[in-house]
Chain A
Amino acid sequence: MDHNSYSDQYLRSILASVKTIAMVGASPHWNRPSYFAMKYLQGKGFRVIPVNPRAAGETILGERVYADLAEISEPVDMVDIFRNSEAAGAIVDEAIRIGAKIVWMQLGVRNDAAAARAESAGLRVVMNRCPKIEYSRLHGELAWSGVNTGIISSKRQKRVPR
């Protein structure tokens, strides 16, 4: 798996397969990037469960905050990591233990050794990307901001729910 470049097909199939996302490093502060991403993904119909030991027991965007992944009692499809590259290693191992199918590391987060462990355990991995940006790029919304999405199609776009 080349983690420098992901095909649109790879990212599309991941985002289409996910219902529940555990967001590690989710912030209760509305002006933090993780809050942006959580709010956006909720709007697109994803269930997002925040994980942050410093905010454990609080509520972010209507969801109870857990101290760690092991504490979550329901199935998690994808673990989205808003922590630094080094800290991501232990979170990936926890994601493998709880049976997540996908590990997604945010923009600027990359841990190749942890990615290799996840892949040999059968998980799919995305690094140094944001699911909010990729979802919006693949569904036509990112183009509204003047971004080069790389998408060319002669088909009428379906309206995406906000």
Chain B
Amino acid sequence: MRDDDKPAGFGFETRAVHAGAAPDPTTGARTTPIYQTTAFVFDDVDHAASLFNLQTYGYIYSRLTNPTVSVLEERVSALEGGRGATACASGHAAQMLAFFAFMEPGAEFLASTKLYGGSITQFGRSFKKFDWNVIFVDPDDPENFRRALTPKCRAIFVESLANPGGVVTDLEPVAQIAHAAGIPLLVDNTLASPYLCRPIEWGADIVIHSTTKFLSGHGNSMGGVVVDSGKFDWSQNDKFRSLTEPEPAYHGLRFHETFGDLAYTVAGHALGLRDLGATMAPLNAFLTITGIETLALRMERHCANALAVAQFLEAHPMVKWVSYAGLPSNRYHALAKKYLPKGAGSVFTFGVKGGYEAGVKLVEGCELLSHLANLGDTRSLIIHPASTTHRQLTEEQQIVAGAGPDVVRLSIGIESAADIIADLDQALRQAG
């Protein structure tokens, strides 16, 4: 129902460069200034009152909103086809913020068993302290979500392209199951980026990113963002009272009634950032905005390089298996062609012959690929999840999450493909 004729009129690359950023009204500065300030002056007491009451627009304090950060918010929202977005300090903060808007003690949600290990720990352990209770579900059969639903379920959470297993989620039927139950589908789209996949087009209601990865793209700034499609009707049942009932901290204001399809985004700032405090720094927003300008170019090269490396590894004598959805042999290839038609991303795993020890040796033997716990960098990265990112999980959880003892994860960068392949080849020979 909303006026989105204009965004549809601009191409993805145009939005990646321009959305949210106009020349600075005061100076005419063409790139987005870094508004490195904690607070903003009020014109008078009445102006301050209007701002605190959420009756007018403007900046108060950078914990809530900041002009550099809001450019990033609009830009990611425009790329995902969302109504609005809330940026925050990290991908984990984004997950906390996404749920904080509507969860309450005793509520439950369904989440894929094949999530990034850090998310499994956050949901399974730390969320429990708020009495938010996760039920993990094998996503490979979407019907598993329907079977696991309970009356207390408030959401379904999946990753479009999972880290690290190369699992592609069949978003469309999962969205239908969520909507039939009157709950939103939350999709982490970090590994795909909006260039490869736009979950809202497949029915997702909320999209989450660690902007630390491909959006910022250069391994230099932490961040997260929660994008709202604006399409979910929070008032369709009584499950989402924090958005539909009077909010005491704002003198009885009802967010959904007052702000309509902006309610979730307004609440993300006015309740989420206000009380959780996980704000993104303006400098990080600036670096991320700059990174996004080249997102399309980088993702093309990331995907081309990743496919070349995956094909090389598939034929390598030291390699047991390769889990890259871009390979025709992969079980998720058909889903990848549907949801990620421009490429299956650049993060994937493979199994090295010789198990845990060979994995450690391989990682330590690389000279060009960096051994570190990030992904979505211009640089190629390698890690052995069982000894690092996924070591907090039980071995059983590691295997379910695609991070068993022989698994090596790659995040292929945008260097010359031949150099990445040569480095992996020499390190694999050392490991063997």
Interface residues, chain A, with chain B CB atoms under 8 Å away: 4-8, 11, 30-31, 33, 35-36, 39-40, 43, 107-108, 128-130, 133-134, 136, 140-159, 162
Docked-complex contact A145 and B53, CB < 8 angstroms: no
Within 8 Å by CB of B70, from A31, A35, A134, A143, lies A143
Docked-complex contact A145 and B57, CB < 8 angstroms: yes
A-B contact pairs, 22 of them (CB 8 A): A5-B1, A5-B5, A7-B5, A30-B53, A31-B251, A31-B252, A33-B258, A39-B56, A40-B56, A43-B56, A130-B260, A140-B25, A141-B57, A146-B69, A146-B265, A148-B7, A148-B19, A150-B4, A154-B22, A155-B22, A157-B23, A162-B47
User: Contacts A6-B3, A7-B5: A144 and B86 contacting too (C-beta < 8 A)?
Assistant: no
Docked-complex contact A36 and B87, CB < 8 angstroms: no
Q: Given the complex, which residues of A lie within 8 Å of B43, measured CB to CB?
A: 162
Within 8 Å by CB of A156, from B14, B25, B73, B268, lies B25
CA distance A93 to B87 in the complex (A): 45
Within 8 Å by CB of B3, from A5, A153, A162, lies A5
CA distance A150 to B81 in the complex (A): 10
Q: Given the complex, which residues of B lie within 8 Å of A129, measured CB to CB?
A: 3
Docked-complex contact A144 and B67, CB < 8 angstroms: yes
* Size bracket of the B interface: 35 or more
The minimal Cβ–Cβ distance linking A115 to chain B, given in whole angstroms, is 14
Docked-complex contact B77 and A147, CB < 8 angstroms: yes
Within 8 Å by CB of A159, from B25, B70, B86, B250, lies B25
CA distance A144 to B70 in the complex (A): 6
Q: Given the complex, which residues of A lie within 8 Å of B83, measured CB to CB?
A: 147-148
Docked-complex contact A148 and B257, CB < 8 angstroms: no
Docked-complex contact A144 and B6, CB < 8 angstroms: no
> Chain A: which residue is nearest B4 at the CB level?
A150
CA distance A90 to B432 in the complex (A): 82
Q: Given the complex, which residues of B lie within 8 Å of A11, measured CB to CB?
A: 3
Q: Which 5 A-B pairs have the closest CB atoms?
A: A146-B73, A150-B6, A148-B77, A107-B260, A141-B57
Q: Given the complex, which residues of B lie within 8 Å of A149, measured CB to CB?
A: 74
Q: Given the complex, which residues of A lie within 8 Å of B70, measured CB to CB?
A: 143-146
Docked-complex contact A144 and B3, CB < 8 angstroms: no
What DSSP secondary structure best describes chain A's contact surface? loop
Q: Given the complex, which residues of A lie within 8 Å of B268, measured CB to CB?
A: 146
Query: Is residue B266 within 8 Å, beta carbon to beta carbon, of the partner chain?
Result: yes
Most buried by B among A36, A134, A148: A148
CA distance A162 to B58 in the complex (A): 10
Within 8 Å by CB of B57, from A35, A128, A136, lies A136
Query: Is residue B55 within 8 Å, beta carbon to beta carbon, of the partner chain?
Result: yes
Docked-complex contact A146 and B5, CB < 8 angstroms: no
Q: Given the complex, which residues of B lie within 8 Å of A128, measured CB to CB?
A: 1
User: Contacts A5-B5, A31-B250, A142-B57: A152 and B19 contacting too (C-beta < 8 A)?
Assistant: yes
> Chain B: which residue is nearest A32 at the CB level?
B258
Docked-complex contact A144 and B77, CB < 8 angstroms: no
Given known contacts A150-B7, A157-B25, what 12 new A-B pairs fall within 8 Å (CB)? A5-B4, A8-B6, A31-B253, A33-B258, A108-B260, A145-B269, A147-B265, A148-B77, A148-B84, A150-B4, A151-B6, A154-B18
The minimal Cβ–Cβ distance linking B202 to chain A, given in whole angstroms, is 18
Q: Given the complex, which residues of B lie within 8 Å of A7, measured CB to CB?
A: 3, 5
Q: Given the complex, which residues of B lie within 8 Å of A143, measured CB to CB?
A: 20, 70-71, 74
Q: Given the complex, which residues of B lie within 8 Å of A130, measured CB to CB?
A: 260
Within 8 Å by CB of A158, from B25, B59, B252, B266, lies B25
* Interface membership of chain B positions 299-318, coded 1 if the CB is closer than 8 angstroms to chain A and 0 otherwise: 00000000000000000000
The minimal Cβ–Cβ distance linking B244 to chain A, given in whole angstroms, is 13
Q: Given the complex, which residues of B lie within 8 Å of A30, measured CB to CB?
A: 53, 251
Query: Is residue B262 within 8 Å, beta carbon to beta carbon, of the partner chain?
Result: yes
CA distance A149 to B71 in the complex (A): 11
Most buried by A among B14, B65, B84: B84
User: Contacts A5-B4, A158-B25: A145 and B265 contacting too (C-beta < 8 A)?
Assistant: yes
Query: Is residue B141 within 8 Å, beta carbon to beta carbon, of the partner chain?
Result: no
CA distance A76 to B422 in the complex (A): 76
Q: Given the complex, which residues of A lie within 8 Å of B7, measured CB to CB?
A: 148, 150
